[in-house]
Amino acid sequence: MKTIPFWMIAMAYLWCAVDVSHGMLLTTSCMTFEEDYNFKEDKFDGTWYEVRRLNDHNATQHEDCVVMNYKLGEKGSFEIRESYQVGDESAPIYRSGKAEPKVFQDARIPKFLERFNTTDPADPDISIDIVATDYSSYAVVYSCTSINSTHHIESAWVLSRQPALAKNVVELVNLFLESRFTRDDHKWRATIHTADYCKPTSVETLPVYGAGNRIPVLSIPVVLLGMLLVRLFF
């Protein structure tokens, strides 16, 4: 058996590394957000569609049809299931991951460390800040992770509860992005979500767990029945 030369492995690795853009930009300083709000983890879980991504404009291939499911776990962590597509020929590609809260107590905005099962063991956990959300229609997520003593990789995503942002929040989200992401290389790309382009993904059919999205369990007839039973037995 012939062994594969090391350079071929190295080339294949490099090729994979540059092949698909994860929307990462290189920066020497992370942005800081002055937002301050009380994050409610249980209202954040459920399905989110990535509708925009801060984009490296040199990228030739993109992740589209990005759908994720956040499931609230222990101590404010999230289990994440995600699927995306690269090109319209591709089948959905699945990955799973975990987001652990970082300095949860005194953070002004919720910060997490995220790792997917597809992450190279040599790569650091990705830092994730949920810089804005109304839980029910949109979220803006910012990521800035140190890669060496001088540089960080930066990315950001706009998430939506629907494959397109609700009309009443488009203006709000645009204003937020325009006022915060002001660098020349801060260019946004719309993530494709059209039905003819995106294949069905099992992530969309995953259950929704948290209190924020759950249909109220106690409907009025149930409450009335309960009151009736109390009357009958006491």
Ligand X SMILES: *[C@@H]1O[C@H](CO)[C@@H](O)[C@H](O)[C@H]1NC(C)=O
Give the one residue of 28, 60, 149, 182 binding ligand X; rule: CB under 6 A: 149
Does 26 participate in binding ligand X (rule CB under 6 A)? yes
Does 96 participate in binding ligand X (rule CB under 6 A)? yes
* Residues in the chain, total: 234
Q: What's the helix, strand, coil split of the chain in %, to 5?
A: 25, 30, 45
Burial of 159 (0-12, 13-18, 19+ CB in 10 A): buried
Which residue reads 């030369």 in tokens? 5
Does 14 participate in binding ligand X (rule CB under 6 A)? no
Does 187 participate in binding ligand X (rule CB under 6 A)? no
- Encoding tokens for residue 207? 């259950």
Give the one residue of 3, 28, 38, 58 binding ligand X; rule: CB under 6 A: 58
The site for ligand X, by CB under 6 A, has a size of 12
Q: How far apart are CA 101 and CA 125, in angstroms?
A: 12
User: Among the candidate windows 141-149, 187-195, 214-222, 226-234, which touches ligand X by CB under 6 A?
Assistant: 141-149
Does 60 participate in binding ligand X (rule CB under 6 A)? no
Give the one residue of 8, 12, 14, 147 binding ligand X; rule: CB under 6 A: 147
User: Among the candidate windows 4-12, 126-134, 144-152, 213-221, which touches ligand X by CB under 6 A?
Assistant: 144-152
User: Among the candidate windows 7-15, 33-41, 88-96, 176-184, which touches ligand X by CB under 6 A?
Assistant: 88-96
- Beta strand 46-55 with 187-190 is antiparallel
Does 32 participate in binding ligand X (rule CB under 6 A)? no
Q: Which residues, 6 or more positions from 179, have their beta carbon under 8 angstroms from its beta carbon? A: none
Q: Name residue 192's beta-bridge partners.
A: none
**Binding stretches for ligand X (CB under 6 A):** 26, 58, 94-96, 117-118, 147-151
